[in-house]
């Protein structure tokens, strides 16, 4: 076969491929469907469990079996994503209404993960079986081929309530993300009923039923007045606080007890909260904390913070709201797949999509049931008619040579070839006109059906069938009747599964925290060559001066209320509050400087450190490796931002030296190739910090400034260069932008 090469633009192929990939992620993986509130992986897990018969009233089965079967039949994307979806659907602290009943370790609210799938077991919850899967055999939804077209799977599950609201959803697609909070089942059903009664109902009126989100972790929503705008637009920010109680402690102390946490604190954020509270004490933001303990258990969250006797409890609680995630923001973006495309929807739109879906499902369900009842009616009427002429039918069966001859007589009245006992029987047989289905039922009828009681039961079944047909026709013909059926089902679900609201909705005042000003004092900043920083008292430094100067790269005095400025080789200035640096004993290890600043120890190198107060009093000399020099007024580095550009660098250049200009009279630049250039500091021009500066030394093509030295008049200053002593005072003075003198060794 001749090879056919198709030439096309590479950019067009990339664009098409990316769009295909993006749509696949958006539609088939990351976003839930507005109708059943499920992502594809969740839907497939539930359907697979239904197919495997892992019902709520049957034994648990290994999670690994469920995951493997789901992956092999419906979701070919890796077992970890499938198991994670299964785990989340079991977790009561994440879902308002769990759909899977887990047996074993399925993780906890504090962030511990679930055990491996080979250890855990699961089965469907009763609500999932009854409200999502029970009507699949009634042709209520479309079934589509799976990924390899060897199986069929439902395109959507016939959910009987707006699961998108009840359980919420979170997902990140390509260029978009969804974040829908969970809500109270009883309130959602009340809103759905209200919408079905009056489709012109407003979002404000719907919120008379749905007060706001109902998080499984409880907590307090504090911006009640903003909820209407959020639920109308489908986007916004919900502010959530944990529930805080005050208890009397031992010895007159006060215990601040956190019994409910914001939904956003689920997982590792509880541990981070405890660390943040401890950090507030360590950094002297508060001196009121005596002890912190996490007493949480299966019964619920209980974090106890013990305070001193004279502590201002209200101010301390406000500090927790301001400085930790005890008050947090839940970003709402109610994005879901509606009619095959992603759409941001408000509360009313979500309910509308679900109600419309309910009517579609009900229409298909009762159309299927009506067809079955009509078929039963046809067969029942045939059997009743047959019982009335049973002697004739027996005579036809005995006189026929085969089944086909008997059936032809029953359906069409053909009597040719059939032996009758009398002409009257033959005439009557010729008048029979049973339907095809009735004839088959008669031919398959067992003799015990001729018993009188059985005949009465058949007549009773026929009456029941007629009643069902009348009811189903009424439901299909009248929207009000169908709406009432849906409402009755919703009421049954509410009675069985609704629980009281956990989250309180209110308008709370913004937390006002008055930070106590620390008493200003002089401390000594110490930072070793590994980047660990700490502060000590002046008296501690004086007692350990020799060790402090020998073991640390940077040692200087500063105010505890001030800032430390770190200059790096990349031309950046990082500022750190002295209050953020641990203050304590001389032998304390300290904290890595990159933990409390934006300094990146992997990509940057600190080449100078100074207190911001000192910089304000002096000027600063910059020297780069390509010999660009300048003087900058230290006041330019009195900045509020944590990171700013300290100087401008040309491409490929780095800062070689940053020094505070004090008593220096002359500068000596030493290049990597051994050239020394000495000139007066007065020759260096003063520039702004965003200037490159001027050239201080002529360098060879591969040469660079290796070291920078300063001398003062009348003072001897010797250095060692490659094993040779060099007296800087004896170097021949030169001018800025000279080549310098080469020292030969």
Could you tell me which of 612, 619, 706, 633 has the C-alpha nearest to residue 668?
A: 706
- Burial of 617 per CB tally in 10 Å (0-12, 13-18, 19+): exposed
Torsion angle of the four alpha carbons 681, 685, 691, 695, in this order, in degrees rounded to the nearest 10? -70
Q: Is the dihedral of CA 339, 341, 342, 345 positive or negative?
A: negative
Using alpha carbons only, what angle is made at residue 76 by residues 70 and 78, rounded to the nearest 5 degrees?
90
Per the CB < 8 A criterion, the answer to whether 210 and 334 are in contact is: no
Instruction: Return the DSSP state at 26.
Output: I
Phi, psi for residue 241 in degrees, rounded to 5: -120, 155
Catalytic residue among 10, 21, 119, 209: 119
Distance of CA 162 to CAs 33, 101, 359, Å? 11, 20, 13
End-to-end CA distance of the chain: 77
Task: Tell which phi-psi region holds residue 627, choosing left (phi > 0), alpha (psi between -120 and 50) or beta.
Answer: left
Residue 478's CB: how many other CB atoms inside 10 A?
11
Give the neighbor-by-neighbor strand order of the sheet with 100-103.
61-62, 121-124, 100-103
Cα separation, 395 vs 329, whole angstroms: 84
Let me know: does 425 contact 416? Beta carbons within 8 Å.
no
How far apart CA 366 and CA 486 sit, in angstroms, is: 12
> Is 675 noted as a catalytic residue in this protein?
no
User: What whole-number distance in Å separates Cα of residue 183 and Cα of residue 334?
Assistant: 13
The span from the CA of 18 to the CA of 20, in Å, is 5
652 C-beta neighbours (distance < 10 Å), count: 7
For residue 116, what is the DSSP state? Answer: P
Measure the CA dihedral 687/689/690/695, to 10°.
50
Count of other CB atoms within 10 angstroms of residue 632? 23
Size (the chain), residues: 745
Q: What percent of the chain is helix, strand and coil (3-state, nearest 5)?
A: 40, 25, 35
Strands 741-742, 628-633: parallel, antiparallel or unpaired by DSSP? unpaired
Residue 139 tokens read as 């042709």
**Which active-site residues does the annotation give?**
119
């Amino acid at each position: 076969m001749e090879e056919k090469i198709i030439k096309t633009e590479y950019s067009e192929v990339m664009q098409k491929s990316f769009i295909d990939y993006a749509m696949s992620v958006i539609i088939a993986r990351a976003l839930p469907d507005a109708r059943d509130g499920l992502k594809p992986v969740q839907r497939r897990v539930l359907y697979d469990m239904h197919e495997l018969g892992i019902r709520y009233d049957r034994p648990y089965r290994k999670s690994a079996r469920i995951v493997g079967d789901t992956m092999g039949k419906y979701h070919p994307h890796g077992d970890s994503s499938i198991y994670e979806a299964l785990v989340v659907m079991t977790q009561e602290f994440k879902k308002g209404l769990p759909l899977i009943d887990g047996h074993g370790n399925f993780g906890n609210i504090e962030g511990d993960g679930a055990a491996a799938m080979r250890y855990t077991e699961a089965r469907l919850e009763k609500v999932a079986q009854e409200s999502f899967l029970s009507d699949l055999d009634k042709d209520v939804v479309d079934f589509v081929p799976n990924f390899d077209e060897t199986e069929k799977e439902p395109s959507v599950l016939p959910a009987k309530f707006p699961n998108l609201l009840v359980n919420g959803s979170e997902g990140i697609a390509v260029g978009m993300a969804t974040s829908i909070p969970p809500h109270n089942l009883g309130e959602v059903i009340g809103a759905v009923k209200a919408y079905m009664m009056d489709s012109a109902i407003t979002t404000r009126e719907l919120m008379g039923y749905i007060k706001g989100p109902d998080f499984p972790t409880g907590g307090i929503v504090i911006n009640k007045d903003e909820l209407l705008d959020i639920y109308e637009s489908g986007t916004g920010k919900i502010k959530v606080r944990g529930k805080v109680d005050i208890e009397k402690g031992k010895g007159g102390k006060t215990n601040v007890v956190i019994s409910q946490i914001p939904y956003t604190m689920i997982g590792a954020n509880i541990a981070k909260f405890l660390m943040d509270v401890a950090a507030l004490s360590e950094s002297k933001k508060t001196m009121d904390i005596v002890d912190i303990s996490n007493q949480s258990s299966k019964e619920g969250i209980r974090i106890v913070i013990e305070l001193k006797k004279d502590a201002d409890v209200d101010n301390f609680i406000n500090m927790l709201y301001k400085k930790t995630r005890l008050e947090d923001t839940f970003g709402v973006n109610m994005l879901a797949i509606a009619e095959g495309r992603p759409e941001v929807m408000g509360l009313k739109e979500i309910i509308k999509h679900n109600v419309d879906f309910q009517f579609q499902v009900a229409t298909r369900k009762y159309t299927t049931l009506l067809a079955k009842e009509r078929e039963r009616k046809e067969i029942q009427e045939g059997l009743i008619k047959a019982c009335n002429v049973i002697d004739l039918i027996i005579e036809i069966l005995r006189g026929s040579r085969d089944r086909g001859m008997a059936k032809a007589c029953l359906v069409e009245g053909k009597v040719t070839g059939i032996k009758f006992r009398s002409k009257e029987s033959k005439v009557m047989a010729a008048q029979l006109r049973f339907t095809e289905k009735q004839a088959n039922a008669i031919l398959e009828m067992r003799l015990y059906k001729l018993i009188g009681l059985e005949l009465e039961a058949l007549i009773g079944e026929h009456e029941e069938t007629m009643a069902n047909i009348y009811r189903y026709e009424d439901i299909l013909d009248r929207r009000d009747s169908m709406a009432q059926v849906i409402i009755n089902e919703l009421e049954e679900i509410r009675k069985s599964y609704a629980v009281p609201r956990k989250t309180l909705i209110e308008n709370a005042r913004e937390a006002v925290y008055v930070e106590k000003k620390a008493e200003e004092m002089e401390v000594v900043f110490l930072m070793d060559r590994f980047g660990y920083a700490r502060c000590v008292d002046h008296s501690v430094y004086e007692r350990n001066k020799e060790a402090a100067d020998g073991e640390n790269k940077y040692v200087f005095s500063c105010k505890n209320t001030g800032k430390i400025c770190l200059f790096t080789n990349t031309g950046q200035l990082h500022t750190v509050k002295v209050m953020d640096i641990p203050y304590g004993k001389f032998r304390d290890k300290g904290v890595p400087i990159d933990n409390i600043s934006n300094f990146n120890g992997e990509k940057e190198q600190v080449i100078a450190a100074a207190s911001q107060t000192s910089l304000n009093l002096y000027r600063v000399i910059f020297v780069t490796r390509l010999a660009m020099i300048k003087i900058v007024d230290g006041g330019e580095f009195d900045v509020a931002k944590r990171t700013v550009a300290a100087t401008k660098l040309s491409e490929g250049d780095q800062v070689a030296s940053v020094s505070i200009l004090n008593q220096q009279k002359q500068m000596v630049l030493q290049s990597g190739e051994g050239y020394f250039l000495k000139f007066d500091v007065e020759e260096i021009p003063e520039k702004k910090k965003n200037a490159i500066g001027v050239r201080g030394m002529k360098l060879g093509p591969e040469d660079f400034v290796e070291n920078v030295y300063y001398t003062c008049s009348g003072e001897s200053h010797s250095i060692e260069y490659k094993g040779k002593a060099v007296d800087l005072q004896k170097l021949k003075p030169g001018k800025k932008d000279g080549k310098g003198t080469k020292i030969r060794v």
